[in-house]
Amino acid sequence: MRENKTMKIVLASASERRKEIFGLTGLEFTVKESGAEEHMNAGVPPRRLARMLSRQKAAAVAAQEKNAIVIAADTFTIINGLYLGKARDQAEARAMLRKLNGKKHLVITGYTVTDSSTGRSISGFSETKVYFRRLGRQEIDSYIRTGEPIGKAGAYAIQGLGAVLVRKIEGDFFNVVGLPLSALMNTLKKFGIRAI
């Protein structure tokens, strides 16, 4: 098995949040956006969809990198069978937050680790239950005006001001942010990569 120091690690993501989370490991890595399209196919079961989307991202970057360990992830929110991806504008953010208001929802992140030199690839997923408190219309509108919901899965950032919307969670906090670090590190060990 190769040693950590000889492995180039590439995080296949444009997300600053994922970059910050993976940076907690102390491992050296570079970042490359996959450019893969995210199609929220409601006909695919959520856990399978999460893994599938992360595999597509990992494959796109692995095809461009030699002798690298590529890490990719995809996060989305599900409520009552409805998939919520990233809010593209204020109207979409408002619609998402109204759906989540006062209710429990599930955040799922699929992740894939691929060794571009051997083609070996392992995918997994993590899920966290998130409970929103009951919000007034003014609170939702005020939060949307901050701009924070735009580009976030489910239209909120639990690591930011969006924390005030959440009553409690059950599961991995980092999964809600976008990268289930504990589960990911267990997978990376299978590729000879350890943070500690």
Which residue numbers are catalytic?
74
Residues 6+ apart with CB under 8 A from 180: 73, 109, 111, 126, 172, 174
Tokens of 10: 């590439």
- Token match 């491992």: residue? 27
Strand pairing partners for 82?
79
- Please tell me whether residue 82 adopts helix, strand or coil conformation: strand
**Amino acid letter for position 114:** T
DSSP run (H or E) holding 144? helix 137-145
The Cα 172–Cα 43 span in angstroms is 26
The CB density around residue 37, as the number of other CB atoms within 10 Å, is: 9
For 108, the 3-state DSSP assignment is: strand
Cα 84 from chain centre:
13
